[in-house]
Chains A and B, each alone.
Chain A
Amino acid sequence: MKRAFLVGLAVVLVALALYPMQATGYGVRTMLQLFMWVALAQSWNLISGLTGYVSFGHVAFFGMGAYTAGILIGKLGWAWPAACLAGGVMAMVLAIVIGWPCLRLKGPYFAIAMLGLNEVLRVIVSYYEGLTGGGNGLSLPTLHASVPIYYAMGLVALAVTALAYLIITSRFGLRLMTIREDEVAAEAMGIDTFRHKLYAFLLSAVGPGIVGGLAARDQGYIEPLSVFPLITTITMIVMALFGGKGTIWGPVLGAVVLFAFQELVWARFIYLHQLFFGGIIVAVVLMMPRGILGVLQQKYNLPRTI
């Protein structure tokens, strides 16, 4: 079973690595977006799926990465790979600044604080027009690099998933899940809960930061409304939830299924898009809050670490 899975995984990875040689530009850019969603959903999973602290403003890290990379590329002429990595670093800096105070808040208050902070960040970015272009946005010099960005995005998605594997199968991950189940008990067992939450928060910020930079480079234009939307946070949450939060492969599965659904079905109904998405959210929350893998785990007694 395990061997078959590993072989299958290797085949998929090789196929994805060879894909750009065959594909059209459209195909490459579509897959690149899929990788982006995998990385985002998986990153959200690292903090919220494992510790139960709902980051309701996770897109803030995406936006931070997008603007860091955008400014470094557009104003200082950095090469895009370095600029995107810098985006990841800045997202982690932001995570410390936000997480230090906010991770002490409990339950819904943390969710509201994250929601508010994302809006504050959006307004700050709109305000400093000299640096960010304000509401007019920031245009990056033209560059046709879809294929390199495809690989970069794929690597980030892979790295974040590998990180999820390492965390979930480690004692560190076990402690995070203890916090999720009962924080007081975790504290009583000698777990430094605040420090653990902060580490998880930091690790969950770096992926969206890099991915935000890559998305900015790929699109060539960013503006506050397009990189800080609440709907992006919600989308990554729903993907992680649909696949199974707190698992290794759940967010990947959720991102693939929902993204495919979006490309194949919703794209035909532009006017009903939000209505469909609202319906899907309601259906997932009501019918399978544990997600596909959660249901399978329970039914077939699968290991916790899938």
Chain B
Amino acid sequence: MVGQVVISGLLAGSLYAMVALGLGLIFGVMRVLNVAHGPMLMLGAYTTFWLFHWLGLSPYLSLLVSMPALFVVGVVLQRLLVRRVVDAPELSSLLLTFGVSIALVNLTQLAFTSDLRSVEYLTGAFILGPFAFSKSRVIACAFAILITAGAFWFLQKTRLGKAIRAVSQSREVAQVCGIDVQRIHMLAFGVASALAAAGGSLVAVMVAIQPEMGQMYTFKSFLVIVLGGAGNYPGALLGGLLLGLVEQLSSLFLTTQVNEAVAYILLVLVLLVRPTGLLKGRSS
């Protein structure tokens, strides 16, 4: 029983880690808490749904569409709006991205209605000894690991990735070294939105798709980056896996209703006990 729960927790956690890495990237580079991160995930899920519905495209292949599409949305959003609040106090960026968030949700409602949608693909489970895992979750986890690894490779090895890390360490020094900070901000926002979109495409197979599905992921991503240490990218991975585990383990003892609160209680506790996160992030 516990083994099953631990593995389910890690499966869910890998998705949280990937989505939260995006949020952490935006916070690390721009010091902006992007409340619209969840709605980006929602848009990714809708992309997958419509491609599946109209063209019968496999949800996993639709990653190739949803990620670039949301990358562009992210870049445009940063260029048009978020750029203007990067240096403002946190109230401005929180409110601005909240405004974007409700506008996106409302537009989605208008375009696609609030009906619950689902992608009927890959049902059933893998049976492995005493454990059983839904196929869609295992494959989603595999993709999440692959994409997260890709993102880390990009951050660690490529020039652009190094530039992103440099800007998140010190914007001024990066600028002095000849890095185009504005461009890096746009790139980081685009990559972050693509990561959210990947999350959306992968959960599209497992959960009901509706315009307000994203908010929960915004909150959970906040929690993950606080857990791991804001601005600390490996910390987001640790935080994501930990959140998945804690949620699954607590579901053994608690009713669903209370289990919803576990994430938040954890958030508040971590903030109080260790506001810099488990791996050291930066304090503000």
Contacts and interface: CB of A to CB of B under 8 A. Distances in A.
B93 to A, nearest CB: 8
A25 interface: no
Q: How large is the interface on B (under 10, 10 to 19, 20 to 34, 35 or more residues)?
A: 35 or more
Contacts of A108: 27, 31, 33, 90, 94, 230, 284
A282 B268 contact: no
Interface residues of A, number: 43
Interface stretch (B53-61, B67-75, B81-89, B186-194): B81-89
A117 B260 CA distance: 13
B98 A281 contact: yes
Given A109-B275, A282-B99, A289-B92, A127 B265 contact: no
A285 B96 contact: yes
Contacts of B96: 281-282, 285-286
Contact of A111 (B33, B102, B261): B33
B92 A285 contact: yes
A289 B272 contact: no
Contact of A119 (B31, B230, B264): B264
B91 interface: yes
Interface string A111-142: 11101110110011011000000000000000
A154 interface: no
B267 A113 contact: yes
B217 interface: no
B105 interface: yes
A282 B33 contact: no
Contacts, number: 130
A234 B81 contact: no
Contact of B102 (A56, A102, A274): A274
A279 interface: yes
A278 B103 contact: yes
Contact of B261 (A54, A119, A284): A119
A115 B222 contact: yes
A72 to B, nearest CB: 25
Main secondary structure of the interface of A (DSSP, over half): helix
A119 B260 CA distance: 9
Contacts of A124: 261
B123 interface: no
A272 B284 CA distance: 37
A120 to B, nearest CB: 5
A278 B84 CA distance: 16
A43 interface: no
Contacts of A120: 261, 264-265, 268
A238 interface: yes
B64 interface: no
A237 B91 contact: yes
Nearest to B85: A285
A106 B283 CA distance: 8
B2 interface: no
Contacts of A278: 98-104, 106
A109 B85 contact: no
Contacts of A111: 33, 90-91, 94
A174 interface: no
Interface in A193-240: 231, 234, 237-238
Given A107-B284, A109-B275, A286-B81, A54 B90 contact: yes
A75 interface: no
Given A241-B95, A285-B92, A112 B222 contact: yes
B40 interface: no
B103 A274 contact: yes
Contacts of A285: 85, 88, 92, 95-96, 99
A304 interface: no
Nearest to B222: A112
A112 B257 contact: no
Contacts of A286: 81, 84-85, 96
B1 interface: no
B271 interface: yes
Contacts of A119: 219, 261, 264
Interface string A96-112: 00000110011111011
Interface in A242-272: 271-272
Nearest to A237: B95
B33 A234 contact: no
Contacts of A281: 95-96, 98-99, 102
A275 B106 contact: yes
Contacts of B81: 282, 286
Contact of A234 (B95, B261, B267): B95
A271 B91 contact: no
B226 interface: yes
B107 interface: yes
Contacts of A52: 89
B176 interface: no
A240 to B, nearest CB: 10
A291 B275 CA distance: 32
Given A48-B91, A275-B103, A278-B98, 9 more contacts: A54-B90, A111-B33, A116-B265, A116-B268, A273-B106, A277-B99, A278-B103, A282-B99, A285-B85
* The 4 A-B residue pairs with the shortest CB-CB distance in the complex, in nearest-first order: A281-B99, A278-B103, A107-B284, A123-B261
26 contacts: A52-B89, A56-B94, A101-B272, A102-B271, A105-B272, A106-B283, A112-B267, A112-B271, A116-B264, A116-B265, A119-B219, A119-B261, A120-B261, A123-B261, A231-B102, A234-B95, A238-B95, A272-B110, A278-B100, A278-B101, A278-B104, A278-B106, A282-B96, A284-B95, A285-B85, A285-B92
